[in-house]
């Protein structure tokens, strides 16, 4: 627990135009950790990811990756620093086929998965590699969105609600993939509303409310905190 965090967020504020959405968010992720961000609809989870990636440009505070400041970087340099982004809306391109979608993000570092490894992990994608990206089912699109950033050698992947709207078997599959990634030492920042899913992989939880971090606790405390979570998440 004493090692310096891989990703360090301090006092992050962010705005959509004039509307102030994040209020001093703090967040740490150590190498190899899976950290899950919980919070009800509109709490600011997606905004936190977008602000870290630099997609949302109006930000103040500190975002450091291995001590390197990300806040001053242009958007396309952030991925090169080692972040891989799997957006909530998945972002599969209709004008690209599955294999083009997979190959789209440029490599950012050594050590990404090879295309063969990816197709072994996601056999469906291999079968449908020449289909139009958006012709895939929702679950397949989600897998493609994840697969796409595994190729690049990103050190941290930011996953925004990968199970949203998917059938239980697919959720199970995605859970297996995350467990596999964790085994390989990938660092993951996961946004989830489904904490039954998140408990399988999360080392730690952060709880967000109204653009603020209101709580943080280790994964094994999840059960003891169920009542409290039910109340905050309103589920």
Partner 1 sequence: MSTIFGVPAPALYGQILIGLINGSFYAMLSLGLAVIFGLLRIINFAHGAQYMLGAFAAYLLLSYAGIGYWLALVLAPLIVGAVAVVIERTMLSRLYGIDPLYGLLLTFGLALILEGAFRYWFGAAGQPYAAPAQLTGALNLGFMFMPIYRGWVVVASLVICLGTWLLIEKTRLGAYLRAATENATLVQAFGVNVPLLLTLTYGLGAALAALAGVLAAPIYQVSPLMGSNLIIIVFAVVVVGGMGSILGAIVTGYVLGVLEGLTKVFYPEASSIVIFVIMAIVLLVRPAGLFGREE
Span from 43-51, 63-71, 108-116, 140-148 in contact with ligand ATP (CB under 6 A): 43-51
Q: Which is nearer to ligand ATP, 25 or 121 (CB)?
A: 25
Residues 207/214, Cβ–Cβ less than 8 Å: yes
Q: According to CB under 6 A, which one of 11, 20, 24, 42 is a site residue for ligand ATP?
A: 42
Return the residue nearest Mg ion (CB atom): 46
Could you tell me the smallest distance in angstroms from the CB atom of residue 196 to ligand ATP? Answer: 16
Q: Which of 125, 85, 82, 143 is nearest to 107 (CA)?
A: 82
Residues 6+ apart with CB under 8 A from 55: 75, 85
- DSSP letters, 137-194, are -HHHHHHHHHHHHHTTT-SEEEEE-TTTT--HHHHHHHHHHHHHHHHTT-EEEEE-S-
User: Within 73-92, which residues bind Mg ion (CB under 5 A)?
Assistant: 88
Q: Which does 4 bind (CB under 5 to 8 A by kind): Mg ion, partner 1, ligand ATP, none?
A: none
Residue 54 φ then ψ, to 5°: 90, 10
Residues 190/49, Cβ–Cβ less than 8 Å: no
User: Within 74-103, which residues bind ligand ATP (CB under 6 A)?
Assistant: 88
Query: DSSP letter at 37?
Result: E
Could you tell me the smallest distance in angstroms from the CB atom of residue 93 to ligand ATP? Answer: 21
User: Within 177-196, which residues bind ligand ATP (CB under 6 A)?
Assistant: 193
Q: Which is nearer to partner 1, 49 or 170 (CB)?
A: 49
Residue 96 φ then ψ, to 5°: -120, 145
Cα-based distances in Å from 107 to 52, 92, 143, 160, 168? 19, 18, 18, 21, 32
Q: Which does 93 bind (CB under 5 to 8 A by kind): partner 1, Mg ion, ligand ATP, none?
A: partner 1
Q: Which two tokens stand for residue 111?
A: 């050590």
Could you tell me the smallest distance in angstroms from the CB atom of residue 98 to ligand ATP? Answer: 26
Q: Which does 19 bind (CB under 5 to 8 A by kind): ligand ATP, Mg ion, partner 1, none?
A: ligand ATP
Residues 6+ apart with CB under 8 A from 16: 47, 56, 58
User: Within 122-181, which residues bind ligand ATP (CB under 6 A)?
Assistant: none
Residue 19 lies near ligand ATP (rule: CB under 6 A): yes
Q: According to CB under 5 A, which one of 34, 36, 46, 142 is a site residue for Mg ion?
A: 46
The binding site for ligand ATP (CB under 6 A) comprises 16, 19, 21, 39, 41-47, 88, 193
């Amino acid at each position: 627990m004493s090692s310096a965090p891989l990703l360090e967020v301090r006092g992050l504020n962010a705005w959509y135009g004039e509307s102030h959405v994040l209020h001093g968010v703090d967040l740490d992720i150590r190498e190899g950790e899976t950290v899950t961000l919980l919070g009800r609809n509109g709490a600011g989870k997606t905004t936190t990811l977008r602000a870290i990636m630099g997609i949302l440009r109006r930000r103040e505070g500190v975002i450091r990756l291995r001590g390197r400041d990300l806040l001053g970087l242009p958007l396309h340099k952030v991925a090169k620093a080692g972040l891989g982004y799997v957006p909530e809306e998945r972002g599969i391109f209709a004008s690209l086929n599955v294999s083009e979608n997979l190959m789209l993000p440029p490599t950012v570092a050594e050590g990404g998965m090879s295309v063969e490894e990816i197709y072994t992990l996601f056999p469906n994608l291999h079968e449908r590699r020449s289909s139009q990206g958006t012709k895939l089912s929702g679950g397949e699109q989600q897998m493609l969105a994840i697969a796409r950033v595994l190729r690049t050698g990103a050190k941290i992947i930011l996953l925004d609600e990968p199970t949203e709207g998917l059938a239980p078997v697919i959720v199970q599959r995605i859970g297996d993939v995350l467990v596999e990634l964790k085994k390989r030492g990938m660092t993951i920042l996961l946004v989830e509303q489904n904490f039954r899913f998140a408990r399988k992989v999360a080392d730690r939880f952060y709880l967000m409310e109204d653009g603020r971090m209101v709580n943080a606790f280790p994964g094994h405390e999840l059960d003891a905190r169920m009542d409290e979570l039910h109340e905050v998440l309103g589920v």
